[in-house]
Amino acid sequence: MDGMLVTNVNAVPRTAGLRVLLVEDSPLLTARLIEILEPLPTVQAVTTCDNEAAARTAALAADVVILDLHLKQGSGFGVLKRLLERDEHPVVFVCTNHDIPGYRRRAFDLGADYFLDKSRDLPELPMMLLRLARGERVARGRFVHRPSAEEVAGVT
CATH of the domain at 43: 3.40.50.2300
Q: Is residue 101 part of a domain?
A: yes
Residue 84 lies in a domain: yes
In a domain, 114, yes or no: yes
- The answer to whether position 156 is within a domain reads no
The verdict on residue 55 lying in a domain is yes
Q: 41-87 pLDDT, tens per residue? A: 677 778 877 778 878 888 888 889 999 998 888 889 998 988 878 77
Predicted TM-score (pTM) of this structure: 0.76
Residue 155 domain-assigned (yes or no): no
Q: Is residue 47 part of a domain?
A: yes
Count of domains observed in the chain: 1
Query: Which amino acid is located at 14 in the chain?
Result: R
Question: Residue ranges of the alpha helices (H) in 85-154?
Answer: 101-109, 125-133, 149-153
The highest-confidence range among 4-13, 44-53, 85-94, 101-110, by mean pLDDT, is 101-110
DSSP string, 82-100: HHTTSSS--EEEEEES---
Range of the domain at 19: 9-140
Domain-located, residue 28: yes
Q: What is the C-alpha R_g of the chain?
A: 15
pLDDT of the residue at 151: 54
Q: Which has the closest alpha carbon to 77: 40, 106, 116? A: 106
Confidence bin at 118 (pLDDT 50/70/90): confident
DSSP conformation letters of 34-58: HHHHTTS--EEEEE-BHHHHHHHHH
Those residues whose C-beta lies under 8 Å from the C-beta of residue 32, and which sit 6 or more positions away, are 122
